Structure 1
Amino acid sequence: MKRLFLCSIAFLVAILVALPSAFTGFAQEKEKVYVINVKSEITPGLFSYIKSSLSKAEEEGASLVLFDIDTYGGRIDSAVNISDVILESDIKTVAYINKRAISAGVLVSISCDNIYMAPGATIGSAETIPATEKNISYWKKQLKTVAEEKGRDTELVMAMADKDIEIEGVVEKGKLLNLTTEEALKLGFIDGKASSRGEVYRSLGIESFSENVVESTPIEDFINIISSSYVAPLLLALGFIGLVVEIITPGFGIGGLLSIIGFSLFFMGSIMGGNAHLLSVVLFIAGIAMLIAEAAAPGFGVFGVLGIAGMVLSIVMASSSLTLALVYMLIALVLTVVVVVLIFKKLPKRKLAKTLLLDTNLSKESGFIPAKEMLEYIDREGRAVSFLRPSGKIEIDNNILDAVSDGEFIQKDELVKVIRVEGSKIIVRKKGEE
């Protein structure tokens, strides 16, 4: 009897010792689920966030990655890049459209293994902007390829991108396909309807899980902002506006600072988003340098042409397509012209106008005479009464003359010497540098 009692005690102790390990084993059986938010414009910044988040999920042994989607779309190139990293991932993926997956959001959604939609959600309207035949053809091919790989209805997907596609009883010609949750479910385009992420997990047979919502870093948020299709052309415009202001004002000031900030952020967004390389920045700087060299010399020649070509080519290299680059440059050009015109209209009313306008009375009573072919001024010395960059005004024997610097910037009030006369053009250098 005593022996039976001792055996019972030993058995109970063994059970008590084993219980913690058993519960630990149960805890370890929870499936790791990672949530990646797609709740903004699809940009290079969002691609960077999704790529790093997927890598993190793979490294930490996640069994499922859920993309929580609510987007109006964005850049096609970024959507394609996001689609590629999803397709290449070894982890099971599911798209949960809790509100909308519009335009480029369609490609992100159909790249996942499963698609679930919340009640009242929508998916579709994926036409490219601009809707050129070339763009639509490429985009339809991309959508069709991914749809085929994931077993989705290719006609439904392509009808979301091309209004010329008609599907009887679903969408008529001339309209883009846009499906509600109930319509998508009825057509078998999605795998189910779910009111929450937890309902998605249970529908996939996951009862025990630990959910980790991967938050974007401040740097990724910053890249997402500066690479936005709305912000990028504004940064480009800021760079050009600052450059123009710097050229028309003496010394290095606020214009130069704004120019550096605008151009730096524009190229940073493209480079960090994976759309450009440092070569585009080097080419842009070379273009600026050539324009500065051209500005220091009379006329407009090869340096000016190469400078403009270098800047344009660098912007094209930093953009996802030629079309997007042209749109960016057009927006930047229009904004630059508008702002510069406003500057010229407002500055004369302010003290700062003195840095842009010649504050000298050029009447005949003040000794001003036109600069004609006056060879007698060769080798004569005078004083700059305005900045010469390269053209400006000089004074010789109380006569105000139009003059051009021979290849260098000349400050106001510096002593100059006439080195030659070409027609009505007087060419000068700083005194002592002949």
Structure 2
Amino acid sequence: MSKFMKLTWLMVIFFTVISLQSFGQKIYEFSLKDEIGPGAWYVTKNAYAKALSSDADYLLMELNTFGGAVNFADSIRTLLLNADMQTIVYINNNAASAGALISLATDHIFMHSGASLGAATVVDGSGEVLPEKYQSYMRGLMRATAEAKGRNARMAEAFVDPSISVPHLKEDGKLLTLTASESVKAGLADAEIKSTEQIYERLGIKQPDVIVHQVTTVDRIIGFLINPLISGFLIMGIIGGIYFELQTPGLGFAGVLSVICGVLFFAPLYLQGLADHWEILIFVLGVILMALEVFVIPGFGVAGIAGIILMLCGLAFSMVANDFLDFQLSKPGLLMNAFLVVVGAMVLSIVLIILFGKNVLRTTAFRKLVLADEQLSEGGYTSSVPKINLINKVGVAKTVLRPSGKIELESNWYEAVAMDGFIDMGEKVLVIKHENYTLFVRKYQEQAL
């Protein structure tokens, strides 16, 4: 066989293998179309785990967001950078701020016609630009992410820093935001498209095996509960319930409320792998120490202070990934944010308790939900026999007396002891004597003989 024929056969085999590899490749698709936060991080983690278990070749994320929390965006970024399969983002229609950081972490960026990418300055909840140290950290993240995927790091930094000059794409002093066509020309995006099918064509994937991630109702509930705002309200319910349970004797509703809030707080975090057994345990131990301080140990000392610290740490540690106090030191802001949420909720709950606590306990609606603190005589309760002459009065046994039980006398119920040892329910009785708040009776028929 000539060298030419051998070379021809090798080329045929090579292109045949390449062609076969492009058939039936698995694509795992999921969507992020809300603010980047704990819910988005939860969905991304679940989608990635299922993509791995499905042996997917590509992880495709359809993105439409105006941004969100940098810490959760950084968590998503890290997952994408270290993914075991090719990652794709389909921007449809916005990838602003935190969305731009996430996009740069993928292997391929495709943008829908009319989509935009950029404007990643760090701002607070009211939209005010944060100080330089936050901007510097974000610029570093953008540069490092772009470099990791072979993209223009200076252009990525211009998403955050208005002082960086990018001729023909933005004015000096303005943040960089790119359209789909501009992103392609700048080399940040692969192509401007109109559907995911065009992505497969661009990547040479024929007859892809597409698996679409399904967000269940349980996923939505967990995503809702792990929102820091909701977590704060749950912490307020936990603290408020514990306070009313410890301060008000006989109270039941507050304890139930506290337990429910505790379950709703810890359960989704436990399912996420954030809250561990030991974190829940130190919170429970803190509650026990507080109870000991209130009911057993006089004054307020070591047990009470230790209880508060353990409760605070148990709640905060549960919100941050760690391996038995081995926190991710590269992200110190996560732990600080968790403590701020917990302390803020605790302080707010204490303020509300001081302002409205006593008034809440006195309301008619609240009294219907709790056990009564006192059994007053006005309500028909009797702790002892009234000081009236009940001797020789005839009543009826309302329970079996063996020898003690209850009798009815002049429309009132009393504790009584049968001097005969046993009196059946419904039999008439005669009061013989009254000692130490107790009536002593005999069967009426015996006395009549």
| TM-score tier after normalising by the smaller chain length | 0.5 to 0.7
Determine if contact 1:287/1:311 at 8 Å carries over to the other structure. yes
Q: Which residue of 2 aligns with 1:261?
A: 260
Confirm or deny that 1:300 pairs with 2:300: yes
Determine if contact 1:41/1:228 at 8 Å carries over to the other structure. no
Distance 1:119 1:248, change over 3 A: farther
The superposition leaves residues 303-342 of structure 1 with CA deviations (integer Å, 9 ceiling, x where unpaired) of 1111122222223323342431243135414642464334
Distance 1:62 1:319, change over 3 A: closer
One-letter code of the match for 1:290?
Answer: L
Structure-2 separation of matches of 1:231 and 1:135? 26
Q: Which residue of 1 aligns with 2:34?
A: 40
The superposition leaves residues 166-192 of structure 1 with CA deviations (integer Å, 9 ceiling, x where unpaired) of 656655687654433344334332222
Q: Which residue of 2 aligns with 1:157?
A: 156
Which structure 2 residues correspond to residues 285-324 of structure 1 after superposition, within 5 A?
285-296=284-295, 297-320=297-320, 321-324=334-337
Q: Tell me the secondary structure at the aligned position of residue 208 of structure 1.
A: coil
Determine if contact 1:44/1:223 at 8 Å carries over to the other structure. no
Q: Given the two structures, how large is their TM-score scaled by the length of structure 1?
A: 0.66
Q: Which residue of 2 aligns with 1:344?
A: 358
Q: Which residue of 1 aligns with 2:5?
A: none
How far 1:351 moved relative to its partner? Answer: 6.6
One-letter code of the match for 1:81?
Answer: S
Which structure 2 residues correspond to residues 196-345 of structure 1 after superposition, within 5 A?
196-296=195-295, 297-320=297-320, 321-333=334-346, 335-337=348-350, 339-340=352-353, 341-345=355-359
In structure 1, stretches of 5+ residues that fail to align are 1-24, 361-434
Determine if contact 2:162/2:174 at 8 Å carries over to the other structure. yes
Q: Relative contact order (alpha carbons < 8 A, sep ≥ 6): 1 or 2 greater?
A: 1
Distance 1:328 1:351, change over 3 A: closer
Distance 1:180 1:61, change over 3 A: same
The superposition leaves residues 260-296 of structure 1 with CA deviations (integer Å, 9 ceiling, x where unpaired) of 2223322333333344433322222222221111112
One-letter code of the match for 2:242?
Answer: L
Distance 1:248 1:351, change over 3 A: farther
Structure-2 separation of matches of 1:164 and 1:280? 46
Q: If you compute each CA radius of gyration, which structure gives the higher value, 1 or 2?
A: 2
Q: Tell me the secondary structure at the aligned position of residue 31 of structure 2.
A: strand
Confirm or deny that 1:71 pairs with 2:65: yes
Distance 1:224 1:352, change over 3 A: closer
The superposition leaves residues 213-258 of structure 1 with CA deviations (integer Å, 9 ceiling, x where unpaired) of 1213444333222112332222222222222232333335221122
Q: Which residue of 1 aligns with 2:88?
A: 94
Which structure 2 residues correspond to residues 104-123 of structure 1 after superposition, within 5 A?
104-123=98-117
Distance 1:282 1:43, change over 3 A: farther
Structure-2 separation of matches of 1:260 and 1:288? 12
Q: Tell me the secondary structure at the aligned position of residue 250 of structure 1.
A: coil
How far 1:163 moved relative to its partner? Answer: 5.8
Q: Tell me the secondary structure at the aligned position of residue 228 of structure 2.
A: coil
The superposition leaves residues 38-64 of structure 1 with CA deviations (integer Å, 9 ceiling, x where unpaired) of 223434454344334334334434332
How far 1:133 moved relative to its partner? Answer: 5.1
Q: Tell me the secondary structure at the aligned position of residue 99 of structure 1.
A: strand
Structure-2 separation of matches of 1:253 and 1:170? 65
One-letter code of the match for 1:87?
Answer: L
Q: Tell me the secondary structure at the aligned position of residue 230 of structure 1.
A: helix
How far 1:302 moved relative to its partner? Answer: 0.8
Structure-2 separation of matches of 1:151 and 1:220? 35
Match of 1:103 among 97, 101, 108: 97
The superposition leaves residues 359-398 of structure 1 with CA deviations (integer Å, 9 ceiling, x where unpaired) of 89xxxxxxxxxxxxxxxxxxxxxxxxxxxxxxxxxxxxxx
Structure-2 separation of matches of 1:175 and 1:253? 59
Distance 1:59 1:102, change over 3 A: same
Structure-2 separation of matches of 1:104 and 1:318? 24
One-letter code of the match for 2:303?
Answer: F
- How many residues are matched? 337
One-letter code of the match for 1:123?
Answer: L
Q: Tell me the secondary structure at the aligned position of residue 77 of structure 2.
A: helix
Q: Which residue of 2 aligns with 1:366?
A: none
Distance 1:306 1:172, change over 3 A: farther
Which structure 2 residues correspond to residues 2-17 of structure 1 after superposition, within 5 A?
none
Structure-2 separation of matches of 1:227 and 1:179? 33
One-letter code of the match for 1:241?
Answer: G
How far 1:128 moved relative to its partner? Answer: 4.1
Q: Given the two structures, how large is their TM-score scaled by the length of structure 2?
A: 0.64
How far 1:149 moved relative to its partner? Answer: 0.7
How far 1:115 moved relative to its partner? Answer: 0.7
